[in-house]
Chain A
Amino acid sequence: MKLLVISTPGFDGAETETINALFSAGLEILHLRKPGWSNLQMAELLDGIDPAHHPRIMIHSNYDLLEKYQLRGAHLPSRSIHPCSTTPAYSRSRSCHSIEEVECLAGIYEYLFISPVFDSVSKQGYLSAVSVDELHNCTNSSGRRLVALGGITAQKLPELSSSICWGAAALGTIWQHEGVVERVSAFRNLQKIADRI
């Protein structure tokens, strides 16, 4: 199973250092989610990341920067209307918050975030809304690439299986640590579990 990482929404003093270290540790896909950031702020962050890693980054906003930085792709919010069934040079992914939403989406996205699967680590009171069983039934019927999100911890991750999910995305489990070293070791720990699933 793939392990993805999502950035924190705000500023973080050690962010670029962490991101570069995560990529060096083998991170395949990073989602940069920075609600409300200007192109300038986002560009500054991207400038701090080794350009070799840019093709592994999905952005949730500031889509103008996709081509300039040769990023992996664009993530769209839930509720967005269907994008074109064209195949742009970049990848597209999208957030979903219910099985119904997943069911009605055509296969135009590379993968879909489904959340929250478990109780969130980073968002207090953001409780699981989609059960693993529900996910199981859904994947069987639709065969879509789902990325589970919300409460992805070393304890919970083994509850997922690759027949249910294509991947899982971690946020709080990584970023709750202050130091870069601790963050990378939390990532490695999750990655080891994900590799076995």
Chain B
Amino acid sequence: MIAGKIQFITDPRPDSSLVEQAEVVCRAGIDWLQFRFKDADRDEKLSVGKEVAEICRSFKATFMVNDDIELAAELGADGVHLGLDDGEPQMARDLLGSSAIIGGTCNTFADIELRHKQGVDYIGLGPYRFTSTKKNLSPTLGLEGYRTIMQECRRRGITTPIVAIGGIAVEDIAPLISSGVHGVAISSLILDAENPQSRIAAIRQQVS
């Protein structure tokens, strides 16, 4: 498994449905999407999730489901991304299969050590800075935080790919990549753009 360098996370907006979001990002060449649909009921998650999964499949993009192992199974997702309170990666692995991609959120180096030990395939480390996308946010790390943590990872020989997440702007990406992170997970950066297509092009330039 090679973790996506640009991971798009869906976010319900009044002006764009999750299906539209998936269309736009996949068409612009993003090959990794995490289906996040908080506050929706089960039926809605299932029906929208099926459509989004279908789009990802047709563009050969990796389709990940946020938090919910059952939903990931039901949608035939490539894997599941677990928050810190969302249970054990081993359990997700037992239930979804050895080929399933299991990701985990981390806020600190201690979290990374734990998730690394638990055998996740990649880690979402954040938040970089304050973001309005997520409630209950942990303290922000800033570029210094990433530098320190990535250094610690190298020292301890932790090679699990780490993607930065949380309020990342285009100009943050290059310095983050040079701190040693594998890629970035983004949502608002694309959804808030006047022209998502050109924003994605700009982001792609930064990570390559």
Binding site for B on A (CB under 8 A): 35-36, 60-64, 66-67, 74, 76-77, 79-84, 86, 88, 92
Contacts and interface: CB of A to CB of B under 8 A. Distances in A.
Given A66-B91, A81-B73, A92-B95, A36 B42 contact: yes
Interface string B58-89: 00000000001110011110000000011110
A26 B146 CA distance: 56
B100 A81 contact: yes
Contact of A83 (B68, B76, B88, B94): B94
Contacts of B88: 64, 67
A129 B20 CA distance: 35
A83 B70 contact: no
Nearest to B40: A36
A84 B91 contact: no
A77 B100 CA distance: 16
Interface residues on B, range: 20 to 34
Contacts of B75: 79
A60 B68 CA distance: 11
B208 interface: no
B98 interface: yes
Contacts of B100: 81
B97 interface: yes
Nearest to B74: A77
A84 B74 contact: no
Pick from A61, A63, A82 the residue with the most CB of B within 10 Å.
A63
A83 B97 contact: yes
B52 interface: no
Interface of B: 41-43, 45, 68-70, 73-76, 85-88, 90-100
13 contacts: A63-B70, A63-B91, A64-B85, A66-B91, A77-B74, A79-B73, A81-B99, A81-B100, A83-B95, A84-B98, A86-B94, A88-B90, A88-B91
Nearest to A92: B95
A35 B94 contact: no
A-B CB proximity, top 7 nearest: A36-B42, A80-B73, A64-B87, A35-B42, A61-B70, A77-B74, A88-B94
Pick from A36, A60, A88 the residue with the most CB of B within 10 Å.
A36
Given A63-B69, A63-B87, A76 B95 contact: yes
A83 to B, nearest CB: 5
B94 A84 contact: yes
Contacts of B76: 79-81
B36 to A, nearest CB: 16
B95 A74 contact: yes
A77 B70 contact: yes
A190 to B, nearest CB: 28
A75 B92 CA distance: 13
Nearest to B79: A81
A41 to B, nearest CB: 12
B81 to A, nearest CB: 14
Contact of B97 (A61, A64, A77, A84): A84
B183 to A, nearest CB: 25
A60 B70 contact: yes
Contacts of B85: 64
B42 A76 contact: no
Given A64-B86, A88-B91, A81 B70 contact: no
Nearest to A86: B94
Contacts of B96: 80-81, 83
Contact of A79 (B74, B90, B95): B74
Nearest to A63: B69
Nearest to B94: A88
Given A63-B87, A67-B88, 13 more contacts: A36-B42, A60-B70, A61-B68, A61-B70, A62-B70, A63-B91, A76-B95, A77-B73, A80-B76, A83-B94, A83-B97, A88-B90, A92-B95
